[in-house]
Each structure stands twice: as structure tokens, then as C-alpha cells.
Amino acid sequence: MKVLVLNGPNLNMLGIREPALYGKGTYNDLVEFIRNVAKELDLDVDIFQSNSEGALVTAIQNAYEQFDGIVINAAAYTHTSVAILDALKAVGLPTAEVHLTDINSREQFRKLSYVSMYAQKTVCGKGFDGYRECLNWLKETAN
């Protein structure tokens, strides 16, 4: 099973950006964590991070007929991007949404998730372990 893991804006700043909220783990730590989980689950993963909405949309579109599922942390674009929602709907792949923090207990504007309007699974507030839960869900869903 081949899974695309997408990470949106500012996730490349993990460990620097608000460590009291997002933790001290770096983006490289997150990538290593995802790769280790994928290996445990016998999944093939491609991991992509961009601060650009267009690059994320293009990555989703390119996943069509290339991947079996998507895990996406759209970060701030979660709350603003109809384009990402439309791309997810267009490719029609099983999709799990993940957030390091609990977006539902944060500022009011973070409670709206366009990604959730398509994603079949959403995991919030579990830090890096949220990615494990999403990858495991995709594997179970495929079987």
C-alpha cells in the first residue's frame, strides 16, 4: 500500500515554532517517526511538505492513480483552502486528516476544517502519534 503524507505551512518550523504548543520535536523528527511507523505497518510512504497552497494541491492531484491513500496535515490551510478540499474530492482517495494540536480547543477560526468536509478520518491533539493512528486507519481501511 502506497500512502502520500502531506504537511502544510510552518510544519517545517516544528521545534522552533511555539514549542509549548507543538512540542520540541523537529520536522526531521516527524519525518523519521512517520517512516518508522510506515515500516512497522509495511506501508510505502512519500512525505511532502510545502508552505505553498498550490504545491499541496498539485501534490494531491499527482496522487491520482499513484497512491492508495492520503494523510494530510494541511496546517493553516485546513481553515481556509477550498482548493485543497476540491483537490481531495477530485482524486477520490481515502483520506485521513491529522493535526498535532486539538484544533477544536483552540481559537474559534481553527474549528472550521475544509479538509474534514472530505476526509473520512480526523485525528487531533495526539502529536506525532496522530500520524500513526491515521496510517493505521488507512491500512485497516484498505483490507
Active site (catalytic) residues: 22, 99
For residues 30-63, one letter each, b for 16 or more C-beta atoms within 10 angstroms of the residue's C-beta and e for the rest, the string is bbebbeebbeebebebebbbbbebeebbebbeeb
What cell does 40 get? 512497522
CA–CA separation, 47 and 59 (whole Å): 10
Contacts for 18 with CB less than 8 Å, ≥ 6 apart: none
